[in-house]
Amino acid sequence: MKKQQGFSLIELLIVVGIIAALSAIAVPAYVNKQKIAEFNSGLASGRALLTRLDLYLDENSGSTASKFGEKLGDATNLGELATVTVSGASEEGGEGENAKGTELKVTFNGNSSIDGTIITFEKNDFAWVCKYTTKETFEDGEIKGCKKA
């Protein structure tokens, strides 16, 4: 009679159990990191547009933020993940430092894992303030440079 070779059933069950335990921990962590990466991508794109918006409002006296939004054209579509809208800064001296109330919003759409999340940059007296709304539960410290509204 030949000696049987291979793994016993108990050894296989232990390996399957270990893989299942690791999957239960690793998959949710990966999904959360993916959501944070998408959020940070939108945040970085929004911040890059803020610089252009500030320059536009300073250089085009009497122009509005919504006119800047029109000039963006296809740039308002951040790939398939989000869209950008610009509003505020009325015709009445709404340029430069008087652009208080101007808003630039990055809205994540259905192709994103954080669908419905909105990042809002609002101009106040001194600088741009970043706030976001989301149904996701990000841990403290995962989102830097933007506060939950």
Domain positions in the chain are: 10-148
Contact 111, 4 (CB under 8 A): no
Structure tokens at 42: 């939108």
Contact 109, 115 (CB under 8 A): yes
In CATH terms, the fold of domain 10-148 is Glycoprotein, Type 4 Pilin (3.30.700)
Residue count of the chain, please give it.
149
The pLDDT profile of the chain, 149 residues, written as one tens digit per residue, is 677 788 899 999 999 999 999 999 999 999 999 999 999 999 999 999 988 888 888 887 767 777 887 887 777 788 888 998 888 765 455 444 456 678 999 999 988 999 999 999 998 877 899 999 999 988 888 899 899 98
